[in-house]
A = this chain, B = another copy of it.
Amino acid sequence: MNDAYHKLMDRIRDHGRLHAVEQLLDWDQETYMPSGGVKPRAELTALISGLAHERLVAEETGKLLSDAQAGDDDHIAQTNLRETRRAFERASRIPTALVKEIAHAGAMAKDAWAKARQDDKFQDFAPHLEKMVDLKKQVAEHVGYDTEPYDALMDEFEPGAKSAGIDTLFAALGERTAAFLRQIQASPTKPDFSILTRHYPRAQQEPLSRRMAECLHFDFGSGRIDVTVHPFCTSMGGASDVRITTRYMEDFLPAAMFGTMHETGHALYEQGLLAEHAFTPAGEAVSLGIHESQSRMWENLVGRSRAFWEYHYGDVQKMFPDSLGNVSLDEFYRAINTVSPSFIRVEADELTYNLHITLRFQIERAMIKGDIKVADVPEAWNAKMRELLGVVPPNNTEGCLQDIHWSMGIFGYFPTYALGNLYAAQFFDKASTDIPDLFERIAKNDHQPLLGWLRQNIHQHGQRFRAGELIERVTGKPLSIEPFMKHVTEKFSRVYGLKS
């Protein structure tokens, strides 16, 4: 490494720190900021976002990038240079004024979205969404693309992903899912899902959430849990300050319980990055698809496994004696693994979840292409719901207003959720080969073997390997829908008494 490299990394670390400050501004806005703070907060967010962008795209960054050198066997420096170059080239194409405008519009729109969602008034959110679609189209044009503008946006979250490829993957996944869903729906065996909609007092749910995070080794010395409308995980201090949020619904136990496990999965990735590389690509996550593979693995492959509940169910039953006192472990296990098309993505079962993503992918891709107008989104949403899931939400709050993403200008992000499910199944399949007693350990509340495996194979590498490279390197194969289909087919065939 030469002097230019070190100077470049100083700049990049400051860029990463500014991004961390933005994360704090966002986290605070979602958790504790008083309602009156929206306007000045939008100004602060826009300012910091603009400064981060300027720092990245400055002429000096380009100059240092030309001069910087990494040793042939120094994969840390190589990773940092490769990813800094990628970020620089992308960001350089976007004017700082546009970046600031998006940050400002996002801070305002988030607030409008929350109100519109509460009041079920899509029309109050529509002008914000129109503005955001317009701004992101501009971004796509500045960044450039081969076939369609949506690709330019998706690239921010899942480097290298293309709409056409995602479309093919989702089509195959959708077809197999639909066929299996028909089998499940035809089965006379039905879990009693209503068990989970009994009364679960928040006073007990809070310690339960904490316990779930703790047992999966969330480090509270370097993190915390708060409450927000839309749960998320964020970091404003590398691996040392990782915060998750959850939401409590007294008539729906899974919201907070599995929501917390999900966000804990994200947090374990962040806390597993190496603090010494904080604020540089070598200390950052690979992509959102890989990030989501961590959250979905802990939420579903661990958290909805029978082994997990063999250990925990007795205690949870004691926490909610009125609702679970007469529910057996088997009934509970089947209830949390009910497959049933529903309106809300974050509450969807493991099988139909991907269909929610396909819907969002198709609608936002069409919005960015200009094939769907914002005003027509509610109708398009409901039509797709009927087509893919066979159900139609009674209102927009439970329909196209349910997710925060579009308000923040996040288009091209949703596909990473389904990719995460696929990556998760493929990684977990390999982990269960490498750790022969994996489920026995899970049944003993011992999550160190799996966490250690993830730390070793994924977390510690930061952005050393791109997603496609990582999955091949770890599992020996490129990404495929097969491990996911194998997992859901085996599991739900058992739950629904089907021949698998």
Q: Give me the interface of A with B, judged by CB distance under 8 Å.
A: 13-14, 17-18, 20-21, 24-25, 28, 32-41, 43-44, 47-48, 51, 219-224, 226, 236-238, 240-241, 243, 278-279
Closest 6 CB pairs of A and B: A40-B237, A37-B241, A36-B222, A36-B240, A37-B237, A36-B221
Q: Give the dominant DSSP class at A's interface.
A: helix
- Please give me the residue from chain B that is nearest to A237 by CB atom: B40
- From residue A296, how far is it (CB to closest CB) to chain B in Å? 25
User: Once the chains bind, are B224 and A41 in contact (CB under 8 Å)?
Assistant: no
- From residue A23, how far is it (CB to closest CB) to chain B in Å? 10
Contacts of A35 in B (CB 8 A): 221
- Which of A13, A47, A224, A243 has the most C-beta atoms of chain B within 10 angstroms of its own C-beta? A47
User: Once the chains bind, are B43 and A17 in contact (CB under 8 Å)?
Assistant: yes
Select A33's contact among B25, B32, B43, B241, beta carbons within 8 Å: B241
Q: How far is the CA of A13 from the CA of B43 in the complex (A)?
A: 10
Contacts of A241 in B (CB 8 A): 33-34, 36-37, 40-41
Q: List 9 A-B contacts (CB under 8 A).
A: A17-B47, A21-B47, A21-B48, A24-B25, A34-B224, A34-B241, A36-B241, A40-B237, A40-B279
- Please give me the residue from chain B that is nearest to A48 by CB atom: B21
Select A237's contact among B17, B44, B219, B223, beta carbons within 8 Å: B44
Contacts of A226 in B (CB 8 A): 32
- From residue A221, how far is it (CB to closest CB) to chain B in Å? 5
User: Once the chains bind, are A20 and B34 in contact (CB under 8 Å)?
Assistant: no
User: Once the chains bind, are B24 and A28 in contact (CB under 8 Å)?
Assistant: yes
- Please give me the residue from chain B that is nearest to A241 by CB atom: B37
- From residue A383, how far is it (CB to closest CB) to chain B in Å? 40
Q: How far is the CA of A226 from the CA of B40 in the complex (A)?
A: 20
- From residue A300, how far is it (CB to closest CB) to chain B in Å? 27
Q: How far is the CA of A20 from the CA of B42 in the complex (A)?
A: 12
Task: Report copies per complex.
Answer: 2
- Please give me the residue from chain B that is nearest to A224 by CB atom: B34
- Please give me the residue from chain B that is nearest to A21 by CB atom: B44
Contacts of A25 in B (CB 8 A): 21, 24
Known: A18-B47, A24-B25, A47-B18. A39 touches B240 (CB 8 A): yes
- Which of A34, A220, A279 has the most C-beta atoms of chain B within 10 angstroms of its own C-beta? A34
Q: How far is the CA of A224 from the CA of B224 in the complex (A)?
A: 20
Q: How far is the CA of A229 from the CA of B329 in the complex (A)?
A: 45
- Please give me the residue from chain B that is nearest to A221 by CB atom: B36
Known: A32-B226, A34-B224, A34-B243. 6 other contacts (CB 8 A): A14-B47, A17-B44, A17-B47, A21-B48, A24-B44, A36-B219
Q: How far is the CA of A51 from the CA of B40 in the complex (A)?
A: 19
- Please give me the residue from chain B that is nearest to A38 by CB atom: B240
Q: How far is the CA of A37 from the CA of B20 in the complex (A)?
A: 12
Contacts of A44 in B (CB 8 A): 17, 20-21, 24, 236-237
Q: How far is the CA of A20 from the CA of B44 in the complex (A)?
A: 8
User: Once the chains bind, are B224 and A40 in contact (CB under 8 Å)?
Assistant: no
Contacts of A28 in B (CB 8 A): 24, 28
Contacts of A237 in B (CB 8 A): 36-37, 39-41, 44
- Please give me the residue from chain B that is nearest to A222 by CB atom: B36
Q: How far is the CA of A426 from the CA of B43 in the complex (A)?
A: 38
Contacts of A278 in B (CB 8 A): 40
Q: How far is the CA of A36 from the CA of B224 in the complex (A)?
A: 11
User: Once the chains bind, are B36 and A20 in contact (CB under 8 Å)?
Assistant: no
- From residue A407, how far is it (CB to closest CB) to chain B in Å? 20
- From residue A284, how far is it (CB to closest CB) to chain B in Å? 14
User: Once the chains bind, are A34 and B236 in contact (CB under 8 Å)?
Assistant: no
- Please give me the residue from chain B that is nearest to A28 by CB atom: B24
- Please give me the residue from chain B that is nearest to A39 by CB atom: B240
Q: How far is the CA of A192 from the CA of B34 in the complex (A)?
A: 40
- From residue A236, how far is it (CB to closest CB) to chain B in Å? 7
- From residue A214, how far is it (CB to closest CB) to chain B in Å? 14
- Please give me the residue from chain B that is nearest to A55 by CB atom: B51
Q: How far is the CA of A279 from the CA of B46 in the complex (A)?
A: 15
Contacts of A36 in B (CB 8 A): 219, 221-223, 237, 240-241
Q: How far is the CA of A109 from the CA of B279 in the complex (A)?
A: 23
- Please give me the residue from chain B that is nearest to A27 by CB atom: B28
Contacts of A43 in B (CB 8 A): 13, 17, 279
Contacts of A39 in B (CB 8 A): 237, 240
